[in-house]
Structure formats: C-alpha cells, structure tokens
Amino acid sequence: MSVMQVTVREFTRKFPNYRRAALAGKEVRVRDRAGNGFVFRAAKEVPVSLADAMGELIGSIQSGQRKKSLAGYGRD
C-alpha cells in the first residue's frame, strides 16, 4: 500500500484526486497545523445488494419458477 502525506489545505483543495488515489489502494495521511494526523483510505466494505443477500435463498424454495428469477417468492 502506498502512502501519501499532505496538509489539510491541500487535501481539501484536491479532494477528488486523493479520493481516486484512495480507491486505487493508496493511503493518504493528512496533518493539520496542530500536528494531529488523520488517515484517509477507501473502506473495503461493499454494501450488500438485495440480489447478493437473496442469492443463497434462490433455489432453496421450490416455487415452480425459474431459479434465476425471484418472481413467485413470498407468495402462497
């Protein structure tokens, strides 16, 4: 992982560039005037879509519908 060190002022001015760098796997370390340090990096957590969440359920219930479709699930 590559590390970049910048000031708060530069970080706020060039945020889109540092955002792209974080998404590319780089870590951006930001220092303010008081000497406090902050780390900016992309989170590895990806939000789960409904299709991903329901993926294990598809095919576990025999509804008479195609298994690649959620049509018919939840009906009597």
What letter would DSSP give residue 28? E
Measure the CA dihedral 33/37/40/46, to 10°.
-140
pLDDT in tens, 20-39: 998 888 999 999 999 999 99
The whole model's pTM is what? 0.53
* CATH number of the domain located at residue range(s) 3-54 in this protein: 3.40.1620.10
Q: Could you identify the residue written with the tokens 């945020």?
A: 15
Residue with the bigger pLDDT between 73 and 49: it is: 49
pLDDT in tens, 28-72: 999 999 999 999 988 877 667 777 767 666 666 666 655 566 666
Q: How far apart are CA 75 and CA 47, in angstroms?
A: 27
Q: Could you identify the residue written with the tokens 């900016």?
A: 40
CA end-to-end distance (rounded Å), the chain: 52
